[in-house]
């Protein structure tokens, strides 16, 4: 039976650290432009309690999203020990394109995947490069698409990247600006006939009735800001309620399709959106099987790296595989799950055996 497996991973974690205390002098506002009743130290303390975030990473001014993607891609290719000319697809998940610091325009021409192919020096025209816009679950969806190409017999090797520079699209007057960060993660996926290994199953969903605009582009909360400027905005409470209800169900769908028992799952690599929300999702997932959430099942990087959207899951995976996350490892034969939720609203999950 043809399936696909991850043969190499790589990340690029920006070097600029921005700790919570650096937001103490920011003038936070409500969405109607009014000032908060609470002092910033109280706001930041509550933020840390809810999200778990202590610091986040920002890219240097000279780097764009495609640069970060290229750096991560190089590492994944090196880790897999393949010739990049043999790649059939480069699939790059992002949401805002190349946004240069201090500009109000997103640059998507040529596509970011084409830019990465160019930077990698790949000459082969049969290496097809395209972008995926799927919110935070974009990298996982790219992996799903790579698996489909491989199973269909039209690809043997794919490069899937998730990259974002959210620091360029945040409204500094919005408390939610403290959540977002920059980064990139990548993996090489190859055809395998090894029985029972690689991607076992997946589930993907888009909810676009009442949920389509839970995340959107909107004006600054500061009414004196340029009206032509747009920033990432989200309805936090609605997203939380949506996620803890729908993500566990999608994860169960994926696991049930795989035929694997929940007792076999060793790790869950979940989108690093919000520590409390992620914990609630995984607890509810286990509750669907009348199980208690096991200890140490859920690696987390959000405390130090923040929410880098499509980059969180591949970054987390690379950190664990490279032994860089204390008390977390994956061994040959282990079953793991990937899961994410984000704008759309989109949800997906993958069951994978190493």
CB 243 within 8 A of CB 281: yes
pLDDT tens string for the chain (354 positions)? Answer: 788 999 999 999 999 999 999 998 888 888 888 888 788 889 898 899 989 999 999 999 999 999 999 999 999 999 999 999 999 999 999 999 999 987 777 889 999 999 999 999 999 999 999 999 999 999 999 999 999 999 999 999 999 999 999 999 999 999 999 999 999 999 999 998 777 789 999 999 999 999 999 999 899 888 888 887 888 999 989 999 999 999 999 999 999 999 999 999 999 999 999 999 999 999 999 999 999 999 999 999 999 999 999 999 999 999 999 999 989 999 999 999 999 999 989 999 999 999
In DSSP terms, which residues pair with 218 in a beta bridge? Answer: 231
pLDDT at site 197: 87
Q: Which CATH class is domain 3-196?
A: alpha beta
Domains 3-196 and 199-353 are alike in CATH topology: yes
In DSSP terms, which residues pair with 160 in a beta bridge? Answer: 91, 187
Cα of first residue to Cα of last residue in the chain, in angstroms, is 16
Give the domain ranges of the chain.
3-196, 199-353
Looking up tokens 């993907």 gives 204
Q: Considering Cα of 336, then 342, then 347, then 348, what sign does the dihedral take?
A: negative
pLDDT at site 221: 87
Phi-psi region of 251 (alpha: psi -120 to 50; beta: other; left: phi over 0): alpha
For every residue of 35-67, DSSP letters joined together read BPSS-HHHHHHHHHHHH--SEEEE--TT--HHH
Multiple choice CATH, 199-353, 3.40.718.10, 3.40.190.10, 3.30.390.50, 3.40.47.10: 3.40.47.10
Q: Considering Cα of 255, then 258, then 262, then 266, what sign does the dihedral take?
A: negative
**Neighbour count for residue 304 (Cβ, 10 Å):** 14
CA–CA–CA angle 212, 218, 224 (5° rounding):
160
pTM to 2 decimal places: 0.94
What is the rounded CA–CA span in Å between residue 2 and residue 146? 13
Phi-psi region of 71 (alpha: psi -120 to 50; beta: other; left: phi over 0): alpha
pLDDT at site 144: 97
Strands 16-19 and 55-58, how do they pair? Answer: antiparallel
| Tokens found for residue 249 | 């169900």
For every residue of 159-220, DSSP letters joined together read EEEEEEEGGGS--TTSGGGGTB-EEEEEEEEEEE--TT-EEEEEEEEE--SS-TTSEEEE--
For every residue of 123-142, DSSP letters joined together read --TTSEEEEE--STTHHHHH
| Tokens found for residue 287 | 């509750």
């Amino acid at each position: 039976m043809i399936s696909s497996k991850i043969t190499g991973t790589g990340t690029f974690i920006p070097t600029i650290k921005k700790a919570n205390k650096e937001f103490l002098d920011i003038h936070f506002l409500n969405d109607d432009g009014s000032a908060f009743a609470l002092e910033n130290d109280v706001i930041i303390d509550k933020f840390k309690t809810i999200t778990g975030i202590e610091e986040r990473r920002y890219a240097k001014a000279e780097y764009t999203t495609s640069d970060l993607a290229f750096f991560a891609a190089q590492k994944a290719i090196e880790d897999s020990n393949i010739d990049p000319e043999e790649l059939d697809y480069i699939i790059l998940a992002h949401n805002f394109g190349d946004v240069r610091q201090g500009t109000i325009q997103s640059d998507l021409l040529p596509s970011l995947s084409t830019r990465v192919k160019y930077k990698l020096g790949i000459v082969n025209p049969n290496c097809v490069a395209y972008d995926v816009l799927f919110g935070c679950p974009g990298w996982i969806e790219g992996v799903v698409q790579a698996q489909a190409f491989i199973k269909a017999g039209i690809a043997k090797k794919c490069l899937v990247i998730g990259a974002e520079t959210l620091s360029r699209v945040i409204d500094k007057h919005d408390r939610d600006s403290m959540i977002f960060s920059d980064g990139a993660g990548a993996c090489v996926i190859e055809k395998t006939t090894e029985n029972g290994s690689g991607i076992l199953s997946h589930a993907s969903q888009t909810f676009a009735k009442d949920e389509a605009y839970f995340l959107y582009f909107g004006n600054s909360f500061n009414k004196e800001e340029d009206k032509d400027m747009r920033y990432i905005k989200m309805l936090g409470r609605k997203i939380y309620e949506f996620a803890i209800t729908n993500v566990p169900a999608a994860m169960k769908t994926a696991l049930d399709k795989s035929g694997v028992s929940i007792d076999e799952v060793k790790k869950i690599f979940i989108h690093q959106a919000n520590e409390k929300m992620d914990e609630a999702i995984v607890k509810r997932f286990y509750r669907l099987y009348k199980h208690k959430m096991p200890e140490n099942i859920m690696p987390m990087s959000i405390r130090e790296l923040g929410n880098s959207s499509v980059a969180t899951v591949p970054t987390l995976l690379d950190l664990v595989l490279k032994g860089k996350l204390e008390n977390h490892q994956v061994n040959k034969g282990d079953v793991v799950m990937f899961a994410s939720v984000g704008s759309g609203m989109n949800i997906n999950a993958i069951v994978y055996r190493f």
